[in-house]
Amino acid sequence: MNDNILVAVIMGSKSDWDVMRYAAETLTEFGVANECRVLSAHRTPDALDAYMQDASKRGCEVFIGAAGGAAHLAGVMASRTIKPVLGVPMASALQGLDSLLSMVQMPAGIPVGTLAVGKAGAVNAALLAIAILALTRPELAVKLTAFRKKQADKILAEMLP
């Protein structure tokens, strides 16, 4: 376990890792200290609670929660911290629609910033976490600006057959 992290990526099952690795990879590409854990709102509630407290003590500033189906993980995480919690709905037996609705329909008072279902959501959760961190870290703002320019240049260079 790392002493200091800025972003924690929690997923409800190891089966979510194939998608959530894109969040971890994006954070690492930007040099943002992160750690990934499998913890479940339903199956390991006490361990999740303990992790939320421990990660905050180790400096975690943004939490990402990914789950599928009855996807309560990010909401429960948000209930345990006042730090920003971003949610990534995983594809499911119902194509992720159940995950999305479970995650996005939070009661007023406990927000979860919910991203897209699947890989796009995983990447964007990381980029949004970086944007939040960049508010007080100019070096990350520079990296984000360079990322956007590179992305735009790639699109503008596209050639059709």
Contact 10, 25 (CB under 8 A): no
Site for ligand RP5 in 12-41 (CB under 6 A): 12-13, 15-16, 40
Sheet holding 113-114, edge to edge: 34-38, 7-11, 62-68, 85-90, 113-114
Nearest approach, Cβ of residue 115 and ligand RP5 (Å): 15
Tokens standing for 157? 């260079």
Nearer to ligand RP5, 122 or 140 (CB): 122
Find the binder of ligand RP5 among 8, 9, 90, 103 (CB under 6 A).
Answer: 90
Query: Which residue, 42, 143, 128, is CA-closest to 85?
Result: 128
89 binds ligand RP5 (CB under 6 A): no
Nearest approach, Cβ of residue 158 and ligand RP5 (Å): 34
Nearer to ligand RP5, 11 or 134 (CB): 11
69 binds ligand RP5 (CB under 6 A): yes
44 binds ligand RP5 (CB under 6 A): no
Helices (H), 84-137: 97-104, 119-134
- Which residues, other chains included, contact 120 with Cβ-Cβ below 8 Å and sequence gap of 6+? none
Binding site for ligand RP5 (CB under 6 A): 11-13, 15-16, 40, 67-69, 90
